[in-house]
Amino acid sequence: MNIASSKQYWSTRMIGEDPTTSKDDAFSGSGGSASDGYWVITNSTYTMNPSTTANTIVASFIYTTAPDSGAIIMSLDNGTKKIEVKSKGNNTQLDLVGNTTVTISDLDLTQTTDNPVPTIIRLTLDASGNAKLYVYDILRNAEGNDAFYSVVGASSSSAGITFGNTSGSIKWGSVYVSKFGAFNPEELMLSDFAQDALVRMGLSIVNQIQNSNRMYLKTQVPNSSIIYGYDLSSNMTNRISPPTIHVLLGGLDNGEFETLGGSTITQDYTVDIYVTTKDTNYENAYRSCLNILGEVFDELYTNTGLSGTTDSITGFSTTFDTKMDNDETICVHTLRLNYIRRIKMTHR
């Protein structure tokens, strides 16, 4: 997972205003007009030329009138490969066009009483020319299947990030751009608060454990079984066979601001880690669970929370499972780590 660091962020945020007046990296172009918090375009495009070869653009928009079929509404080009999102000339489909074309259907690109929410599209292109499109800015659908589309970009020689429409009428609510990488919805979130809490703390812990070379973590627990614990219900946990590691951000607290106006704050995090094992008898399950939990602790204790000025571990506690039933062969041990982080709040 390519988690965005505090120095990798949204370099442009256009929120319903003229894209050329963004206080961050601005687009070039002309045309369009502001209306009820949207930038309405009928015949104009906006472009910026990043110096990087991996980029992300996220846009929320509403069709008033669908652009002509084949009209480009969003594109990324890194100077070698390009990817385009094109209209199909209707309100329910888009094309993702690179070396091949993928049609995304069952969309509702208009704003109606039944669907009052604008569509959100995330488009990424990495340095190797691999592109992904995320509809509604999610990774997985209700069935747990991938909710994104992938293609390889087509050959190109002119770098640029573009959005807009030369036909039809689109109300653009927000357009965010990061020139720091090709980030999926779990690597760079739209909210800085969510990014600091969930991604840079919770998901980075998952990432650290998945990348560990310690014996049990490397050979006994598949990466697919080391996950963030969004859903710890029995129906969800039963989908993954033990051994499993679930990481959960248990809480976040902030005391008094350290500076006037809160430009720098200190946050206390509680990270809960649940290790589950199953074996032929409870004793074996208990021992293997303790070995895995111990390696999780060793990995995190020696590789995270080491900077006394910005990021520190302040304590930990563990809860060891106890056999309560004669036929029990599943063991769950729990580790709680307490972190304190000092972060700047000025870039938001």
Q: Is residue 186 over pLDDT 80?
A: yes
What is the pLDDT averaged over residues 153-166?
94
Q: Which residues pair with 110 in a beta bridge?
A: 63
270 Cβ contact list (under 8 Å, min separation 6): 249, 250, 251, 252, 336, 337, 338
User: Do 136 and 215 lie in a common domain?
Assistant: no
pLDDT of 7 reads: 84
What is the pLDDT averaged over residues 176-189?
94
What is the pLDDT averaged over residues 168-188?
95
Number of structural domains in the chain: 2
pLDDT of 69 reads: 97
Residue 186 belongs to a domain: no
pLDDT of 6 reads: 78
Kindly report, residue by residue over 239-289, the tens digit of the pLDDT. 788 999 999 998 888 766 666 666 777 888 999 999 999 999 999 999 999
Backbone angles phi, psi at 107, to 5 degrees: -95, 165
**Which structural domain, as residue segments, surrounds residue 318?**
192-344
Q: In the chain, what are the helix, strand and coil shares in percent, each to the nearest 5?
A: 15, 40, 40
90 Cβ contact list (under 8 Å, min separation 6): 66, 69
Flag whether the pTM goes above 0.75: yes
d(CA 203, CA 269): 13
Kindly report, residue by residue over 314-339, the tens digit of the pLDDT. 999 999 999 888 878 899 999 999 99
193 Cβ contact list (under 8 Å, min separation 6): none
d(CA 118, CA 174): 10
Residue 184 belongs to a domain: no
Q: In the 3-class helix/strand/coil scheme, how is 228-259 assigned residue by residue?
A: ECCCCCHHHHCCCCCCEEEEEEEEEEECCCCC
Q: Is residue 114 over pLDDT 70?
A: no
Residues of the chain with pLDDT > 90, as a percent, come to 67
pLDDT of 240 reads: 85
User: Do 164 and 253 lie in a common domain?
Assistant: no
Q: Is residue 82 over pLDDT 80?
A: yes
142 Cβ contact list (under 8 Å, min separation 6): none
pLDDT of 193 reads: 84
d(CA 68, CA 164): 13
User: Do 118 and 200 lie in a common domain?
Assistant: no
Q: Is residue 348 over pLDDT 60?
A: no
Q: Is residue 308 over pLDDT 80?
A: no
Backbone angles phi, psi at 152, to 5 degrees: -95, 135
**CATH code of the domain covering residue 267:** 3.30.2000.10
263 Cβ contact list (under 8 Å, min separation 6): 344, 345, 346
User: Do 168 and 199 lie in a common domain?
Assistant: no
Of the listed ranges 25-34, 68-77, 310-319, 339-348, the least confidently predicted one is: 339-348
For 187, counting Cβ atoms within 10 Å of its Cβ (0-12 exposed, 13-18 middle, 19+ buried), the class is: buried
Q: Is residue 345 over pLDDT 80?
A: no
Half-sphere exposure of 164 (CA within 13 A, CB side): 21
The tokens describing 273, both together, are 């880690």
Residue 135 belongs to a domain: yes
User: Do 161 and 221 lie in a common domain?
Assistant: no
Do residues 49 and 158 make contact, with C-beta atoms less than 8 angstroms apart? Answer: no
User: Do 151 and 197 lie in a common domain?
Assistant: no
Q: Is residue 96 over pLDDT 80?
A: yes
